[in-house]
Amino acid sequence: MTRLILFNKPFGVLSQFTDRGTADSARATLSDFIDIPRVYPAGRLDRDSEGLLLLTDSGKLQARIANPRFKTEKTYLVQVEGLPDDAALAALRQGVPLKDGLTRPAKVARIEVPDIWARTPPVRYRKSVPDCWLSITVSEGRNRQVRRMTAAVGHPTLRLIRAQIGDWRLDGLETGTWRDA
């Protein structure tokens, strides 16, 4: 029977079970939170991003979730610097030119501040620069894509939380905890 685990990855945790960095780096990994043999991440989530990470013992399911050709939608809650105007949001919806090519169109909406956990360490705030939250859904998985997209329209990402992958959602899963799907 295939096992699928939903994990709410905290900020600063690598999306792998071992740290191949320097011997003195001692960065947190999945093994600090999940002690289940033979499950592997289906895709990645950057060390400085938080939220939903799926792990499975099925290579076939792992490929279906992570491979860009299947266009699995991923939804992110994104805190950005500044207040994006309609033109910036339209650019994200149409596709943004990045160094590795034009992104697919994204679903984008301004949202209220989400009811989420506090981040450790907290996001750096600047009194002179406002910020806001967006919901951004993409169907491709380029490296640091959402961060690069928001920066390309003039609104750098301050905090990025993946809330949904396909039909799987965080739905109350506390940071640093996991559950079977």
- Rounded mean pLDDT of 144-157? 97
| 88 pLDDT higher than 80 | yes
DSSP 62: H
112 pLDDT more than 90: yes
Question: What whole-number percentage of the chain has pLDDT above 70?
Answer: 97
Question: In whole numbers, what is the pLDDT of the chain averaged over residues?
Answer: 93
- Using pLDDT thresholds of 50, 70 and 90, give the confidence band for residue 116: very high
Catalytic residue among 46, 86, 100, 180: 46
Contact 1, 174 (CB under 8 A): no
Length, in residues, of the chain: 181
Q: Domain range holding 127?
A: 70-165
The verdict on 37 and 97 lying in the same domain is no
Residues 91 and 119 in one domain: yes
Let me know if residue 76 belongs to a domain: yes
Kindly report the backbone phi and psi dihedral angles of residue 21, in degrees, each rounded to the nearest multiple of 5, phi listed first: -75, -160
pLDDT recorded at residue 170: 95
Structural domain total, the chain: 2
- Contact between 162 and 136 (Cβ < 8 Å): no
**So what's the pLDDT on residue 24?**
62
Q: Amino acid identity of 37?
A: P
142: its two tokens = 């380029």
Q: Do both 15 and 76 map to the same domain?
A: no
Q: Let me know if 167 is a catalytic residue.
A: no
- CATH at 131: 3.30.70.1560
One domain for residues 25 and 76? no
SS3 at position 93: helix
95 and 160 share one domain = yes
DSSP secondary structure letters along 27-48: ---GGGT---TT-EESS---TT
pLDDT(121) > 90? no
Task: Answer yes or no: do 151 and 97 share one domain.
Answer: yes
Do both 94 and 122 map to the same domain?
yes
| Final residue belonging to a domain, choices 47, 68, 89 | 68
Same domain, yes or no: 140 and 157: yes
- One domain for residues 8 and 51: yes
> Exposure string (b/e) for 87-122, b if CB count within 10 Å is 16 or more?
ebbebbeeebeeeeeebeebebeeeeeeebeebeee
Residues 83 and 161 in one domain: yes
The verdict on residue 176 lying in a domain is: no
Rg (CA), the chain: 16
